[in-house]
Amino acid sequence: MSFKVSLIRGDGIGPEIVDATVRVLDALQADIEWEEVRAGSGAFKDLGTPLPEETISSIGRNGVVLKGPLETPIGTGFRSINVTIRKHFDMYANVRPAKTTPGLATRFQDVAIDMVIVRENTEGAYAGIEHVIPPNRAAAETVILCTRWASERIVRHAFEYARRCGRKQVTLVHKANILKETGGLFLEVGQTIAREYDDIAFNDIIIDNMCMQMVRRPEQFDVIVTTNLFGDILSDLAAGLIGGLGLTPGANIGNGASMFEAVHGTAPDIAGKGLANPTALLRAAGMMLDHLGMVDKGRRLEESIAAVLAHGKAITGDLGGRAGTAEYTDALIAEIGG
């Protein structure tokens, strides 16, 4: 049976890494029929809207979307389309694995890092509840929203993920010492739900200490569950530990639809130059293959990526190599074929 998947090529380096990913999935003979739709700044320029209705209905119909990064104007302009899609489809769990690639030279190459950040994706500081106070933007307020319901849902997702993937520990990251109400509620929910999972160790840590611990001893973390803003920041930190943004994927899981993407953005500094590393999106596609039940193809993809990176011949610039997107993708396809 062939799976129909919505495909958004996106802005900046998006089209380059999406095209590379589609080539690699073809080489894997993944049974996917793509339905290409538009979103982001490019769509806004060409179609007058950053999120056409057809894109929403395609995602709703297919239930799965692979997405290149989308540009969000800073300070003014339309709201983040990434956030809008996640909210529209209630994609409440943002799952971002960060794992050491053996043989790949990184700052932390002697440490076996294997952590998965499970980020609450619908509320917190990103609930979109903000306003300015006149006159002349004298002040601005953003509301941090934390509901018991959404907190329970994400913490349970983290524990279920841990159980399903044979993981041993869940760490809840918060700032309940200062954000006594929102942080306090999130922590209380975590502590309560943890009691239902006595096969998985549970601990909690304050966000500032977490940043320090992740740099000093990242190997101590397994599954991490946290609120929206902290999860956003920590996943970039985790990406930095294992070799950079070019390597880390993310899945946005909802009950009706799920979206797979790279953690990184549109990389405007290298867009259109054929230099982008497609690995993060490829790994996101690997998570998508797992999600669709093509677990063997997902494993094969990850093994091939690891082999090419460890071999060290076709490495992109962000990882210290000289290969462009095409050369790296060719090496990967050769590895899959061979």
Catalytic positions are 126, 175, 208, 232
Q: Which is nearer to ligand NAI, 71 or 123 (CB)?
A: 71
Residue nearest ligand NAI, Cβ-based:
265
What are the tokens at 323?
A: 């290969």
Q: Exposure pattern of 260-295 as b/e (b: 16+ CB <10 Å)?
A: bbbbbbbbeebbeeebbbbbbbbbbbbbbbbbbebe
Residue nearer to ligand NAI on the CB measure, 207 or 270: 270
- Amino acid at position 157, single letter: H
The kind and range of the H/E element at 251 are strand 249-253
Based on CB atoms, which residue is closest to ligand NAI, 44 or 186? 44
Residue closer to ligand NAI (CB basis): 70 or 194: 70
11/204 with CB nearer ligand NAI: 11
C-alpha dist (Å) from residue 161 to 21, 135, 166, 313 = 26, 48, 8, 35
Provide the minimum distance between the beta carbon of 144 and ligand NAI in the complex, in angstroms, as a whole number: 21
In angstroms, give the least distance from the CB of 177 to ligand NAI: 29
> Which of 19, 3, 28 is closest to 291 using CA atoms?
3
The total number of residues written for the chain in this structure:
338
Residues forming the site for ligand NAI (CB under 6 A) = 13, 17, 69-72, 82, 245-246, 261, 264-270, 276-277, 280, 318
Q: What is the rounded CA–CA span in Å between residue 313 and residue 234?
A: 30
First-to-last C-alpha distance (Å) of the chain: 26
CA distances in angstroms from 101 to 25, 75, 79, 95, listed in the order given: 21, 36, 35, 18
Contacts of 48 (CB under 8 A, 6+ apart): none
- The least distance separating ligand NAI from the CB of residue 91, rounded to whole angstroms, comes to 12
Give the nearest distance from C-beta 279 to ligand NAI in angstroms.
7
Three-class DSSP category at 202? strand
